[in-house]
Structure 1
Amino acid sequence: MDAEATRLKELNRQMNQMSRMVETFDARLKALEGGHVPILDPKTQPAKQSYAKVTGPPVTPRIPSIAPPPKTILKSLKPGKAIIHSVPEKSEVQNLARGFLVQRANEVLEKLDAKVEGERIAIRAAQVLKSGDVCFFSKNKAHQKWLMENKHTWSKQVHPDLEATPSTFSVIAHGIPKDFNPLAASAITRLSVKNNFAEGDLLRPRPPQCFKCLKMGHFGQWCREKARCGKCGDEHVTKDCPEGIGGIKSCVLCKEGLKMKIEGIDSIDHTPFNVTCFFKKAWLKKKHNRSQ
């Protein structure tokens, strides 16, 4: 009996000891949970300052003492672009390597001894555009000006398919008789008298519109689109229409637009060259927005 009582007493003591240990562990766990500090994201933690920054004088941003160059100087230093047209009927230029065009152009310019203020003009790069035309990049705008003013001199020597002949006349007119001679002084005088304007009047050129495909933004000489008649809508230029020239009463562009259910077209009772044409108004509006 004494041995059993002693064993129970020892067991009770051990149970009490374990109970106190559990209570102590529970108290420590609550204390840790109460004093928990959330770990900050490394991105949100403040950066450590260096010793030199802490002990040195405060750093304040300084205003530049040198004024930036004016826009005119910056513009003059930009690379110049000289775009030379290629013959629309041929596509050989599009297959040429850009390196060949640069090398050939520089050879031609060196042979011509092309210089601006004693500095030799050189082509730095070339790009064949989607239209088939070639864009030659020069050092600056001064070199570009020389290239454009003398394009008819050097472009043909680079490749025979490049077209850069100077403009023969500065005025484009429709409906002029074939026997009209623009070089005759009497013809110019007669033209001005018949149209009630003086020979010295200021020329206000209209936006470019192609007489071949009737679209805006380019002239027929460099057009690569299919021809479209402004009278019957077939694939030929308007002057070759079997129905004859003149008498255009409706717009073939707006007719096609109505078939394609383009929104905004409300009339076809005009010619493709009239300012009331939907496509012409849209092009002019887009051009105006770009200039603002």
Structure 2
Amino acid sequence: MTTISPQPPTWAAITNKGTNRKKKTPPQPLIPTNTEINKFKKASVVICTPPGFVALDSISAPEITSKINHTLKSINATVDSQIIEIAGIAQLPSKDLIIFTATRPQARWPLTNKHIWTELVCAELKTFPTRFPVILHALPTHFDPANPTNLQELGRQNRIDLSLIQSAWWLGDPVKKGKHNGSLVLHLLNKDIASKIEKTGLFLQNKLYRGAHYTQSIPQCY
């Protein structure tokens, strides 16, 4: 009986066997969503300081943080019924303060109400309310914005508290130029009211005048 010896494998067979094997893809780590990333990020706002402000230069960050938290607690500064507590601060080269909080709503409150608490932390840190400028077009120039009675009537017709209108003035002095109509700039202390005016305008003597956002105003911190 004749035994047939097996043929040795060829090089082509060896290489084909290697290439036919399925390569296992290593498991990829899960990419966190933006929501998951933001969950652990601190919210922050910038509080602008007056020119030449040096009152906090000799005070450490923990001390400043403690003073701010004590002040916020003393005035019952809350968001969703919880006292706002800042996580820390940083000072920019300009001396402006960056305040860090756990959530954006908690950061928004100190910014919106900075004129209430900053002076209580440090007298030299006193700031003013954030202004929201809007412009009204084609108003009759017989409307005198310097007359409180006129502003009161403007507020009454549009259900705006007069205390929320910080200032009002004509753009380009149309009265002096003898024009019958002009553009009136209002500085408001309420963002929602300013946005509403930009979208829908204001009534004056039962006539609607269109409004828009006014950008060429005095720079301020937000």
TM-score by length of 1: 0.40
Q: Superposition pairs for residues 1-292 of structure 1, below 5 Å?
A: 60-62=25-27, 68-69=32-33, 71-72=34-35, 74-75=37-38, 77-167=40-130, 170=133, 181=146, 183=148, 184-185=150-151, 194-195=181-182, 199-206=209-216, 219=219
Q: Is the 8 A contact 1:77 1:140 kept in 2?
A: no
Q: Answer whether contact 2:113 2:129 (CA < 8 A) is retained.
A: no
Q: Which runs of 4+ in 1 moved over 6 A?
A: 186-192
Q: CA deviation at 1:138?
A: 1.1
Distance 1:115 1:203, change over 3 A: closer
Residue equivalent to 2:141:
none
Against the structure 1 CA distance between its residues 170 and 136, is the aligned structure 2 distance closer, same or farther, given a 3 Å change threshold? Answer: same
- In structure 1, how many angstroms separate the alpha carbons of the residues matched to 2:51 and 2:183? 38
Q: Structure 1 counterpart of 2:65, which letter? A: V
Question: Displacement of 1:84 after TM fit?
Answer: 1.6
Q: Deviations over 1:219-273 (max 9, x none)?
A: 3x79xxxxxxxxxxxxxxxxxxxxxxxxxxxxxxxxxxxxxxxxxxxxxxxxxxx
Unaligned residue ranges in structure 1 (runs of 5+)? 1-57, 173-178, 211-218, 223-292
Larger RCO (CA within 8 A; separation ≥ 6): 2
| Contact 1:76-1:141 within 8 A present in 2 as well | no
Is contact 2:86-2:99 (8 Å) kept? yes
Contact 1:114 1:121 in 2 (8 A): yes
Structure-2 separation of matches of 1:181 and 1:60: 74
Deviation of 1:59 (Å): 6.1
> Size of the alignment, in residue pairs?
146
Q: Which SS does the other structure have where 1:131 is aligned?
A: coil
CA distance in 1, matches of 2:79, 2:183: 45
Q: CA separation in 2, counterparts of 1:154 and 1:76?
A: 27
Contact in 1 for aligned 2:49/2:95 (Cα 8 Å)? yes
- For the residue of structure 2 that corresponds to 1:94, the secondary structure is coil
Residue in structure 2 matched with residue 45 of structure 1 by the alignment? none
Query: Match of 1:195, as an amino acid?
Result: G
Distance across 2 between alignment mates of 1:88 and 1:135: 16
User: Greater share of helix residues, 1 or 2?
Assistant: 1
Q: Secondary structure at the match of 2:212?
A: coil
Query: d(CA) in 1 for partners of 2:183 and 2:50?
Result: 38
Post-superposition shift, 1:151?
1.8
Contact 2:48 / 2:96 at 8 angstroms: preserved in 1?
yes
Stretches of structure 2 that go unaligned for 5 or more consecutive residues are 1-22, 136-143, 155-167, 185-200, 202-208
Provide the TM-score with structure 2 as the length reference.
0.51
CA contact (8 A) 1:81 1:138 kept: yes
Query: 1:77–1:141: 8 Å Cα contact kept in structure 2?
Result: no
Shift of 1:193: 5.1
Percentage of pairs with the same residue = 22
